[in-house]
Structure 1
Amino acid sequence: MRRITTRIGMLAAAALLAVTAAGPAQGEQVRGAAHRTTTEPAAYFVMTDVTGTEFVVRLTEADKIQHARDLLSGATTSRPHLIGRIDRRPAPYNPHWSFHYLSDTVDFFDFAIEVCDATTPYVEEHLDEAGGAFLPGLMWCPWSSRLVREIHKG
């Protein structure tokens, strides 16, 4: 019985993650489609986690860029952590890591379920396992993530 309860709990957690991640992302894609046709450039931010390592995040949607800037300026403390789907390939703007966030999936949160939480170094060390039981759907939500600065490309 305990085994069945555990499996049901894991399935419920995975379903919750799928609904949490897919629901807003789909709405943002529809809403952001017209926005992305503009020539507004992407913005780059450095995040860190409990390990102190730095990870560069590329944001492409105006409302999310503004939210990130508001977090850095102290204008808001709401939804300070990052969530999004990762790509298991390096990005030119984030050369120290073998993965990066897919820009159009990045969002901010206050609380998330445990199944998507991991530090940046842990994701790097277990990247070949990501997408299965570890980071289902390649969704990553480091609970201790926070933005520390914006990178101004010139």
Structure 2
Amino acid sequence: MHGILTKIVTALAAIATLGSAAPAPAQAAAPAYFEVTDITRSRFVVQLTDPAKIQHARDLLSGATTDRPHVVGRITPRPAPYNVTWSYHLRSETIDFFDMAIEVCDATIPYVEDHLDEADGAFLPGYVWCPWTSRLVRELPAS
């Protein structure tokens, strides 16, 4: 039970930091793009620019780690050139990974699309999105 509580507290802390003052910028890296899916089998593309997060994503894909397999971040309600299928994207500088998170930020990829006009209210407060069933599928080739 203590382990689960620790993971929940850690997830809450990670989500809370998304709402705090901007952190010191991480060392910039060439963007890397990763395809994410969820229980609906929809596909969504995220752009990572933080070298540590890029490495974590690659480690997840290679099986080098299974820690923090899900994606969390703040959505922007407009498409991005690398994620044109959807009317929203995750802001690169807010993306992180988690094991467990609170329910208020959970939604599937298509549900967010269908309810985008409700985001930043009772639905996805602060535009924070943490799809519980999200997982990386693959790294996309640099274009």
Shorter-normalised TM range: 0.7 to 0.9
Alignment check: 8 A CA contact 1:29 1:104 kept: no
CA distance in 2, matches of 1:74, 1:63: 16
The answer on 1:57 being equivalent to 2:60 is no
Alignment check: 8 A CA contact 2:19 2:126 kept: no
Q: Structure 2 regions of 5+ residues with no counterpart? A: 1-10
Shift of residue 98, structure 1, vs aligned partner = 0.1
CA distance in 1, matches of 2:72, 2:33: 15
More helix by share: 1
CA distance in 1, matches of 2:81, 2:140: 14
Q: Structure 1 regions of 5+ residues with no counterpart? A: 1-15
Structure 1 runs of 4+ aligned residues shifted over 4 Å read 24-28
Alignment check: 8 A CA contact 2:31 2:49 kept: yes
Alignment check: 8 A CA contact 1:84 1:140 kept: yes
TM-score, normalisation: structure 2 = 0.87
Identity across the alignment (%): 61
CA distance in 2, matches of 1:29, 1:62: 15
Which of 1 and 2 has greater Rg? 1
Shift of residue 153, structure 1, vs aligned partner = 1.6
Partner of 1:23: 17
Partner of 1:42: 31
Alignment check: 8 A CA contact 2:32 2:48 kept: yes
The answer on 1:120 being equivalent to 2:114 is no
The answer on 1:105 being equivalent to 2:94 is yes
Shift of residue 22, structure 1, vs aligned partner = 3.7
TM-score, normalisation: structure 1 = 0.81
Shift of residue 20, structure 1, vs aligned partner = 3.8
RMSD over aligned CA atoms reads: 1.9
CA distance in 2, matches of 1:134, 1:25: 16
Residue-pair matches, total? 133
Q: Structure 1 residues 132 and 94 mapped into 2: Cα distance closer, same or farther (>3 Å)?
A: same
